[in-house]
Structure formats: C-alpha cells, structure tokens
Amino acid sequence: MTLVNRKLQNITRVVCAEERYVIVTVGNMLLINVYLPCVGTVDRQFTYDAVFCNLLSWIDNYPDHMLILGGDLNVDIDKICPVSTLVNKFIIDCNLHGCDTMFNVGSTLSTYYNEALGTESNIDRRQEASYKKLHITSYNFISSYN
C-alpha cells in the first residue's frame, strides 16, 4: 500500500499498480513501492527479473523525476545469492543508495525486529537515487510487523 498525504493529492498520480509494485508520482518524485517474493516461492528469481525489467522501463519514462524505491525486497542484499545479485544489479543500474548508508550511523540498521524471538533482518529497504537532489535529514521505517 502506498499512502500519500491529502495535502499532496493535487500533485499525486498513480502511474501503475501491479501485483508486485505500485508506482506513484508526487510532484517531481517517482515513488516505487515493491513487494517481492520470499524464499521458497515458485519461479522467485524469474519474478524478480521480470519486475526489475518492468520497473526499468517505467523509470526510463520519467528521466526528470527523483527516484525513491522502497518496500519488502524479501532478500538480504548484503548476503550473496542469485536473487540478491539481481537486486544489487538493479540498485547499481538505477544509481540507488540505501537510506541507511546516507547517515553516519556506523552500521547497517535492521529494518525488522522481533524482540520476542530475538530476530532481526534487513529485507525491508528504502533506496534513493543519488543523481538527483534529494534532501533527506532523517528516516524511519514504519513496519506493520511491530
């Protein structure tokens, strides 16, 4: 789900809404919210490849827009596997940087915490394009898991 403040409704447009992603423009920002398949999903790697191919086409249609990608990637991009390799290639191709690396926090921040189970992960990510001017002073992940 992608929510936009009502004050921005006059400059907001839903570009595309598919099963695995939603693309919205808000002014000159191109916001992409993804929900990608988890481990064990049939044709997982094919689905990632197809989604990224489609997203690249949409991104090419909005060259003057600032790109922000977020959502549930369902892969730890810091660990090497065929799916993380696809994700990291997409990130490089789009010149994206993780919001957690934009601030001098000293380490990668986990995006999911389960205190009761003592687990955490980094599969929910927010990326932004560095080639556009974007002034982010802080960020916070809002999770429906907590």
Q: How far is CA 120 from the centre of its chain?
A: 18
Q: How confident is the model at residue 108 (pLDDT cuts 50, 70, 90)?
A: low
- Beta strand residue intervals within 18-144, DSSP E: 21-26, 29-35, 66-72, 96-98, 112-114, 119-121, 124-129
Residue 142 falls within a domain, yes or no? no
Total of domains in the chain: 1
Residue 47 falls within a domain, yes or no? yes
Provide the CATH number for the domain around residue 106.
Answer: 3.60.10.10
* H or E element at residue 59: helix 44-60
Residue 111 falls within a domain, yes or no? yes
Average pLDDT over residues 100-115: 60
Strand duo 29-35 + 66-72: pairing: parallel
Residue 3 falls within a domain, yes or no? no
pLDDT in tens, 36-67: 998 899 999 999 999 999 999 999 999 999 89
Residue 84 falls within a domain, yes or no? yes
| pTM for this entry | 0.76
Residue 113 falls within a domain, yes or no? yes
Task: Print the domain residue range for 29.
Answer: 8-129
Residue 88 clears pLDDT 80, i.e. is over it: yes
Residue 141 falls within a domain, yes or no? no
Residue 144 falls within a domain, yes or no? no
Average pLDDT over residues 90-103: 75
Q: Residue 124 has what pLDDT?
A: 52
